[in-house]
Amino acid sequence: MSLHTRCKMKVEIITIGDEILIGQIIDTNSAWMAAELTQSGFEVTSIQSVGDAARSIIDAIDLAFSRADILLLTGGIGPTNDDITKNTLCRYFDTKLVFSNEVLKNIEKIFAHRNFSLNDLTRNQALVPEKCTVIQNKTGTAPILWFEKEGKVLVSMPGVPFEMKTAMANDIIPRLQSQFRMEDYLRQSALVSGITESALAIRLADFEQGLPKGISLAYLPSYGMIKLRLFARNMDNTDLFQRQAEKLKRLIADLLVSETEKSLEELLGEELQTHNLTISTAESCTGGLVAHKITSVAGASAYFAGSIVSYSNEIKEKFLDVDKDLLDASGAVNEEVVVQMARNCAKLLKTDCSIAISGIAGPAGGSEENPVGTVWICTYYRGESIAKKYNMGNSRRENIERSANMAMLQMLKML
């Protein structure tokens, strides 16, 4: 159980850009913002994505202001012509663009740092609406615009993820927290595996129906795992929540992986560091995804040595000393191969632990004996190895993602 602070004000996110509506990019901004805002105590009640058209932007703002108190916009304020948010905001807030020397200085600083020369289009970014508070963009050229109207707030930010994230973390969230009243709430998270969503729901049906008013339970299935979240809105009775959280933990004790909201790669990294262990991977069908996930955590070099991505059998032989006769006779997707991969990987890369994966990602390559989705995972820890066979399904992408998660999970359980 952990205590968090929340704000009763509702937040809506509006992401702007034709590229979102034609699916050319995945809107990762809103997910990141929603996670940070939730973590910081704000409730996100809706996310809208609209195209680069004044009418669509104004409609989205009108709608959002009709039901929320804080509007966060990203995108549509770069230097090119298809970016029209700034002019639309002037229309909406009945103001005009004025030149800001302060913004120009910031742009010049950013450009000097990157060794770029300033051009006219970039200079135009120093034009800002008169009736707003300008927040300097520390990592890019488009300024952040903070508007207020009848006690409500609208903030317009660039769509470049790094610029938006820096502004949100350093400026927007702290300002929102100081401007709006915050109150406490309680949360208990749980990451479970080894059960289907419906079987888990049946196991928890009585518990869920017996929850006191104001406490709710949510399920989130994701590639072989389910995240559970017990959540108390506006609750002062900590003991009551604590009892429910403990009851939940008893009910899922055999399935529990973690009580935090951390990712598997973060959990694995922490576990390795706590026990002062190192790890390496030998990957066939996952093609390096486990190594990529492990190294996406800052500081991974303290425990991750490297990976042999052995897509071909020749590399399995040459770099992982897998027995050639075995590969010739039985192919690459079986228990013996994956055990050799894991053991030899740890030995050759001199790590305490290792993960080896070999399977059929599809769409081609399946057989009667090993259909698409068959994946062997072996985890190794100081002399011991555990090999398991999984069926990850038919989709190549899901298959690879799921295999990477199950491999990290299997390793975590072993430690």
Helix (H, G, I), strand (E, B) or coil at 349: coil
Q: Which is nearer to a copy of itself, 67 or 384 (CB)?
A: 67
Closest contact distance (angstroms) between CB of 47 and a copy of itself is 4
Identify the helix (H) or strand (E) that includes residue 325: helix 324-330
Q: Which is nearer to a copy of itself, 378 or 402 (CB)?
A: 402
Residue owning tokens 């989705």: 373
Tokens of 11: 């937040």
φ, ψ at 176 (rounded to 5°) = -65, -40
Other Cβ atoms within 10 Å of 241 Cβ, number? 23
Contact 27, 49 (CB under 8 A): yes
Q: Who's near 27: CB < 8 A, 6+ residues apart? A: 15, 20, 49
Q: Which is nearer to a copy of itself, 118 or 133 (CB)?
A: 118
Closest contact distance (angstroms) between CB of 316 and a copy of itself is 8
d(CA 112, CA 104): 12
Closest contact distance (angstroms) between CB of 237 and a copy of itself is 23
d(CA 149, CA 123): 28
Q: Which is nearer to a copy of itself, 80 or 101 (CB)?
A: 80
Q: Which is nearer to a copy of itself, 43 or 148 (CB)?
A: 43
d(CA 37, CA 45): 11
Closest contact distance (angstroms) between CB of 329 and a copy of itself is 20
Closest contact distance (angstroms) between CB of 239 and a copy of itself is 25
Residue owning tokens 């486990």: 290
Closest contact distance (angstroms) between CB of 227 and a copy of itself is 6
Q: Which residues pair with 183 in a beta bridge?
A: 6
Q: Which is nearer to a copy of itself, 119 or 237 (CB)?
A: 119
Identify the helix (H) or strand (E) that includes residue 147: strand 144-149
Q: Which is nearer to a copy of itself, 198 or 238 (CB)?
A: 198
In terms of Cβ atoms closer than 10 Å to its own Cβ (0-12, 13-18, 19+), residue 360 is buried
Closest contact distance (angstroms) between CB of 279 and a copy of itself is 10
Closest contact distance (angstroms) between CB of 391 and a copy of itself is 8
Other Cβ atoms within 10 Å of 87 Cβ, number? 16
Q: Which is nearer to a copy of itself, 95 or 313 (CB)?
A: 313
Closest contact distance (angstroms) between CB of 171 and a copy of itself is 17
Q: Who's near 237: CB < 8 A, 6+ residues apart? A: none
**Of 206, 214, 365, 338, which Cα lies nearest the Cα of 282?**
338
Q: What is the 3 state secondary structure string of 215-259?
A: EEEEEEEECCEEEEEEEECCCCCHHHHHHHHHHHHHHCCCCEEEC
Q: Which is nearer to a copy of itself, 99 or 130 (CB)?
A: 99
Q: Which is nearer to a copy of itself, 3 or 130 (CB)?
A: 3
Helix (H, G, I), strand (E, B) or coil at 412: helix
Closest contact distance (angstroms) between CB of 64 and a copy of itself is 11
